[in-house]
């Protein structure tokens, strides 16, 4: 069993996703269950980037990945990142983002998904994403974390190749038990915002930031339900005054 997540910029502008685009994606994502995904959802909406996440058996990863890309293509306002996909690694361009992590079949399908968007922050975003991955690795209650981001050409199973220039990475961490969501998510958030010019935003927030910045959303995907963790952590981060 794996949790797979594919992110793409298919918005008609560079700062947000329209309500119509979000509605269309959420409507079509149910087709992933029709072809064998255990659970699937539009988990993250970060600036002009969207992420579709699914829990799927290992032998269906390629099939489900292809269907996710099909959904993105059919609903794209702008072909954007999808145009970078190639069957030839030498011709791969800047394209969609991909992450996968192992999941245990004897547990509820719980994961934390972190999605990034940049407006001039392309030079730092991979470092930020890798900070988040490092924070989750080895933590109690974490089953697996997606691989570190690098500059190599990436083969997305069932889809094709994208270059290492993909600049809106996605991170997935699968979780052993619901009680571990808070501690793992807190560590991942802290690792991200500890970097300069990085901001946590609520799901579907536009990227209204000073150019040169990175924004990110963090969601809990729990047994098919999506929880925007920026909302509860916004209150947790409020300092108690003496």
pLDDT tens sequence across 134-177: 999 999 999 999 999 998 999 999 999 999 877 799 999 999 99
User: Is 90 exceeded by the pLDDT of residue 236?
Assistant: no
Q: 106 in a domain, yes or no?
A: yes
**3-state SS, residue 111:** strand
Q: Is residue 242 part of a domain?
A: no
User: Is 0.85 topped by the overall pTM?
Assistant: yes
Name the domain count of the chain: 1
The contacts of residue 142 (CB under 8 Å, 6+ apart) are 136, 173, 174, 175, 176, 180, 184
In a domain, residue 202? The reply is yes
On whether residue 195 sits in a domain, the answer given is yes
Residue 136 lies in a domain: yes
Task: Tell me, yes or no, whether 95 lies in a domain.
Answer: yes
pLDDT digit string, tens, across residues 176-225: 999 999 999 999 999 999 999 999 999 999 888 899 999 999 999 999 99
The mean pLDDT of 15-21, rounded to a whole number, is 95
Note whether residue 241 is domain-resident.
no
Name the residue range of residue 191's domain: 2-236
Look at residues 53, 65, 50 and name the one whose alpha carbon lies nearest to residue 224: 53
Interval 84-111 mean pLDDT: 93
| Cα–Cα distance, 88 to 101 (Å, whole number) | 25
Residue 150 domain-assigned? Answer: yes
């Amino acid at each position: 069993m794996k949790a797979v997540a594919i992110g793409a910029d298919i918005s008609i502008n560079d700062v947000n996703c329209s309500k119509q685009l979000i509605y269309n994606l959420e409507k079509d994502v149910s087709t992933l269950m029709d072809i064998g995904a255990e659970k699937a959802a539009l988990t993250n909406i970060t600036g002009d980037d969207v992420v579709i996440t699914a829990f799927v058996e290992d032998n269906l990863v390629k099939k489900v990945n292809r269907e996710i890309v099909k959904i993105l293509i059919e609903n794209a306002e702008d072909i954007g990142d999808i145009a970078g996909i190639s069957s030839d690694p030498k011709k791969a361009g800047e394209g969609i983002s991909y992450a996968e992590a192992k999941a245990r079949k004897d547990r509820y399908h719980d994961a934390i998904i972190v999605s990034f968007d940049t407006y001039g922050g392309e030079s730092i975003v991979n470092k930020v994403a890798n900070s988040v991955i490092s924070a989750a690795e080895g933590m109690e209650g974490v089953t697996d974390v997606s691989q570190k981001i690098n500059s190599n050409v990436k083969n997305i199973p069932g889809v094709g190749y994208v270059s290492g220039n993909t600049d809106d990475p996605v991170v997935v961490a699968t979780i052993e038990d619901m009680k571990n969501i808070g501690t793992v998510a807190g560590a991942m958030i802290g690792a991200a915002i500890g970097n300069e010019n990085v901001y946590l935003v609520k799901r579907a927030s536009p990227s209204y930031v000073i150019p040169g910045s990175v924004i990110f959303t963090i969601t809990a995907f729990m047994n098919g339900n999506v929880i925007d963790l920026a909302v509860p952590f916004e209150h947790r981060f409020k300092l108690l005054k003496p």
